[in-house]
C-alpha cells in the first residue's frame, strides 16, 4: 500500500515554519510587524504540520468555493431571476435543484467512486464543479442555469466527503482533528465571508461575476491539489443496501427527520432573505451583503459554541434549546413584519434578529450529529452521511415552500419557517423521550436477606 502522504517533490514553505525558528524569534522588527507575524504564527498553529499542511489548505479552499457556491445564490436571487426572465419563486427553485441533487447524488457517487483513489475523486469533483460554474456564468436561459446547478451539486456531493477522508489520511494521527476542522471549516468560512462578499459583488457588478470568482477558486484548488497531493488509495465501498439499513437503526429515523424539517424551516427564510429584508426593511443593493455578513459571523460563533455545549450538556437538551430558540426568533420575525414593516426602526430590528438567528440556526445540527454517532456506534460514518443528505433534502424542500409563499408576503414566509421548526421540535421531543434509558430497579435489602437465610437453611 502506498504511503498516505502528500507529494514531497519540492520542499513546502510556510511562514509558520519560519516563525518558530530562532531567526524568526530574534529578528528585531517594528511592533506592528511583530504583531502581524505573531497573528500569522497563531493561524499556522491550528494547521497540520509538515507535508500535509499545503494540501489541507488547498482542500479547505475547495470546500470554501463549494460552500460559497451553494449559499451565495440566495443573496443574488432577484438579479438571477430578472436576468433570466423568471419570477423570484422560479429562481428559488435553483436552490431546490442544487440541494435535491446533492442529497441524492452524494451517497450514489460515494458507491460509484468507492474504488477510486481519493485524489482522483477530488480532481473529478472539482473539474465538474468548475465546468458547472463556467456554464452558470454564460447561461443564456433558465434551463441552462438549472442544468449548471445540477452539475455543480454533483461535483459538491462528490468532493466534500472525499476531501474529509483525504485530509484525515495525510495528517499525523495526533493532528487529524486539525485537518478535518480546517477542511470542513471551509464551509463555515464560506458562510461568514464568501457569501457576503459574493453577494456584494453580485449586487454591485453582476451575479455572473460572482459565479466567475467561484470558478476561479475551484480552478486554483484543482491545480493546487494536482501538484501538491500524492496518490491516496480508496477506503473501500459501502453499498447502498448498507446505507439504507443503517437508516433503520433505532433513533436514527426520527433524528434525521428532525434535522431535515428544521433545516427546511431555516432555509425557507434564508433562501429569500435578500427579498425579505428588502420588503420589510427597505434594504437593497450592496446593503444586503451586510445582513449576510451578520448572519455568517454569528453562525460561525454558533458553530464553535456548539462543540463546547455538546461536550458539557446532553446533546438532546442542546438540540431542544436550539429548536425553541429558533421558534422564538421566527415568531419575532413575524411580529416585526406585522408591526414595524417600512418603519425607520425595521432595519435595526432586522439586523438584531438576524444576529440572534445566526446564533441559533446551526446549534441543533452538531447536537443531532452527536446523537447519531452515539446510537449508530461502528456505523456512525454511514449514518452521518445520511445526516448530510437529510440536511440538503430539507434545503430542497425549503426552496419549493418558500417559492410558493413569497407572493403572499414576508409574514407568511416567517410563519412557515417557524411552523417547520416547531414540527421538528415535536419530533425531537418524542424521539428523545423514547430513547431515554429506563433505570434498572435497585434490589431491596429484605429480599437479599431472605435469600441469604433460605440458602443458609438449605445448606444445613
Summarised one tens digit per residue, pLDDT across range 356-393 is: 999 888 888 878 877 887 777 767 667 777 877 888 89
Start and end residues for every CATH 1.20.1250.20 domain found in the chain: 45-237, 242-436
| Inter-residue contact 130 to 200 (CB < 8 Å) | no
Q: For 216-220, what is the mean pLDDT? A: 95
Residue that wins the pLDDT comparison between 399 and 435: 399
For 43, counting Cβ atoms within 10 Å of its Cβ (0-12 exposed, 13-18 middle, 19+ buried), the class is exposed
- Are 409 and 185 in contact by the 8 Å Cβ rule? The answer is no
Neighbours of 115 (CB within 10 A): 11
Burial 227-260 (b: 16+ CB within 10 A, else e): ebbbebeebeebeeeebeebeebebbebbbbbbb
CATH number belonging to the domain at 45-237, selected among 3.30.110.70, 2.40.10.10, 1.20.1250.20, 3.40.30.10: 1.20.1250.20
pLDDT tens per residue across span 76-120: 988 999 999 999 889 989 999 999 998 888 888 877 887 788 888
Residue whose C-alpha cell is 438567528: 357
| Topology classification of domain 242-436 | Growth Hormone; Chain: A; (1.20.1250)
Instruction: Count how many Cα atoms sit within 13 Å of the Cα of residue 433 in the half-sphere of its side chain.
Output: 6
Look up cell 428544521; give the residue.
262
pLDDT at 261 over 90: yes
- Spatial distance between the Cα atoms of 99 and 93, rounded to a whole number of angstroms: 10
What span, in angstroms and rounded, lies between the C-alpha atoms of 435 and 383? 17
Amino acid at each position: 500500500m502506498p504511503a498516505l502522504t502528500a507529494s514531497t517533490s519540492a520542499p513546502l514553505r510556510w511562514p509558520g515554519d519560519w516563525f518558530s525558528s530562532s531567526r524568526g524569534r530574534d529578528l528585531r522588527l517594528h511592533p506592528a510587524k511583530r504583531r502581524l507575524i505573531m497573528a500569522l504564527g497563531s493561524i499556522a498553529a491550528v494547521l497540520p504540520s509538515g507535508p500535509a499542511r499545503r494540501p489541507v489548505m488547498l482542500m479547505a479552499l475547495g470546500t470554501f468555493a463549494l460552500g460559497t457556491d451553494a449559499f451565495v445564490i440566495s443573496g443574488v436571487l432577484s438579479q438571477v431571476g430578472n436576468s433570466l426572465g423568471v419570477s423570484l419563486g422560479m429562481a428559488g427553485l435553483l436552490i431546490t435543484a442544487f440541494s435535491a441533487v446533492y442529497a441524492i447524488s452524494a451517497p450514489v457517487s460515494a458507491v460509484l467512486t468507492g474504488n477510486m483513489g481519493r485524489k482522483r475523486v477530488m480532481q473529478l469533483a472539482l473539474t465538474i464543479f468548475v465546468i458547472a460554474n463556467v456554464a452558470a456564468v454564460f447561461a443564456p436561459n433558465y434551463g441552462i442555469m438549472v442544468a449548471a446547478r445540477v452539475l455543480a451539486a454533483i461535483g459538491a456531493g462528490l468532493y466534500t466527503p472525499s476531501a474529509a477522508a483525504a485530509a484525515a489520511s495525510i495528517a499525523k494521527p495526533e493532528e487529524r482533528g486539525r485537518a478535518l476542522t480546517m477542511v470542513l471549516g471551509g464551509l463555515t468560512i464560506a458562510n461568514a465571508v464568501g457569501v457576503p462578499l459574493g453577494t456584494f459583488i453580485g449586487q454591485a457588478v453582476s451575479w455572473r461575476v460572482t459565479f466567475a470568482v467561484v470558478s476561479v477558486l475551484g480552478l486554483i484548488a484543482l491545480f493546487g491539489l494536482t501538484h501538491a497531493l500524492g496518490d491516496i488509495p480508496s477506503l473501500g465501498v459501502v453499498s447502498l443496501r448498507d446505507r439504507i439499513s443503517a437508516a433503520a437503526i433505532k433513533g436514527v429515523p426520527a433524528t434525521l427527520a428532525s434535522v431535515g424539517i428544521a433545516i427546511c424551516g431555516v432555509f425557507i427564510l434564508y433562501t429569500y432573505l435578500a427579498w425579505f429584508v428588502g420588503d420589510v426593511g427597505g434594504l437593497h443593493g450592496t446593503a444586503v451583503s451586510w445582513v449576510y455578513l451578520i448572519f455568517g459571523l454569528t453562525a460561525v460563533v454558533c458553530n464553535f459554541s456548539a462543540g463546547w455545549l455538546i461536550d458539557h450538556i446532553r446533546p438532546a437538551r442542546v438540540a431542544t434549546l436550539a429548536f425553541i430558540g429558533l421558534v422564538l426568533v421566527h415568531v419575532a420575525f413575524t411580529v416585526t413584519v406585522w408591526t414595524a414593516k417600512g418603519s425607520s426602526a425595521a432595519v435595526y430590528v432586522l439586523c438584531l434578529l438576524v444576529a440572534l438567528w445566526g446564533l441559533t440556526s446551526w446549534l441543533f445540527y452538531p447536537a443531532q450529529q452527536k446523537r447519531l454517532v452515539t446510537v449508530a456506534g461502528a456505523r456512525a460514518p454511514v449514518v452521518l452521511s445520511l445526516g448530510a443528505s437529510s440536511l440538503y433534502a430539507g434545503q430542497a424542500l425549503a426552496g419549493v415552500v418558500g417559492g410558493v409563499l413569497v407572493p403572499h408576503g414576508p409574514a407568511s414566509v416567517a410563519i412557515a419557517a417557524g411552523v417547520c421548526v416547531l414540527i421538528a421540535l415535536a419530533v425531537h421531543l418524542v424521539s428523545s423521550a423514547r430513547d431515554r434509558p429506563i433505570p434498572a430497579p435497585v434490589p431491596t435489602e429484605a429480599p437479599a436477606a431472605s435469600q441469604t437465610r433460605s440458602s443458609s437453611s438449605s445448606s444445613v
